Amino acid sequence: MTPLLLASTSRYRRDLLERLGLPLQTARPEVDETPAPGEAPRAVAVRLARAKAEAVARLYPGQWVIGSDQVAELNGAPLGKPGTVEGAHAQLAAMSGQVVDFHTAVSLVRDGEVLEACDLTRVHFRALGAADIERYVAAEQPLDCAGSFKCEGLGITLFNAIENRDPTALIGLPLIALSQLLRQAGYTLP
């Protein structure tokens, strides 16, 4: 079986995809991730997931390529990866006591054929004090994560509740939706 290509260098996405037990390779997509002016967070996630998959698929004709992207949405505005400790502090302070939506899109592409889905996870943040944020950011350094947390680690302590249909989506790759897309593409999964 030809390996799937994951258009990502994210160790989180690779770890999730390995759960499916399918042959896998990764490739770095060269994609500008800047949102278009006025582009809704869900639309950004869907567009970028497809763009990542298409960028890698052009280099590997005949192979299925998986692209994924996640955009956090707070009060209608997108939140990206913080990139800095200060950025993470600011994001977490803004999300304190709020409900934040996470749009996690996945796209499966081969030779112009596109199968895609987008999962919504709603996270209810507890009220976070400055000391809570300081301790959390120092412990996990979540600078490469949309929304400045890692729910598979200590980030789970920042929440009062999570609403979703797929727990893997919040980590960065919705495996339930992806499994459905892979079956449509002809893969055999349990």
DSSP 8-state class, residue 109: E
Task: Give the C-alpha separation, 95 to 72, whole Å.
Answer: 10
Instruction: Specify whether 132 is catalytic.
Output: no
Q: Return all residues near 34 (Cβ < 8 A) that are at least 6 apart.
A: none
Task: Give the C-alpha separation, 139 to 127, whole Å.
Answer: 19
Read off the tokens for 27: 């490739």
Our CA dihedral for 141, 133, 169, 62, rounded to 10 degrees, sits at -30
Q: At what angle do helices 130-140 and 85-95 cross, to 10 degrees?
A: 130
Q: Which residues pair with 20 in a beta bridge?
A: none
Q: Which residues pair with 110 in a beta bridge?
A: 113
How far apart, in Å, do the first and last CA atoms of the chain sit? 16
List the catalytic residue out of 15, 69, 101, 111: 69
Task: Give the C-alpha separation, 51 to 62, whole Å.
Answer: 17
The catalytic residues are: 69
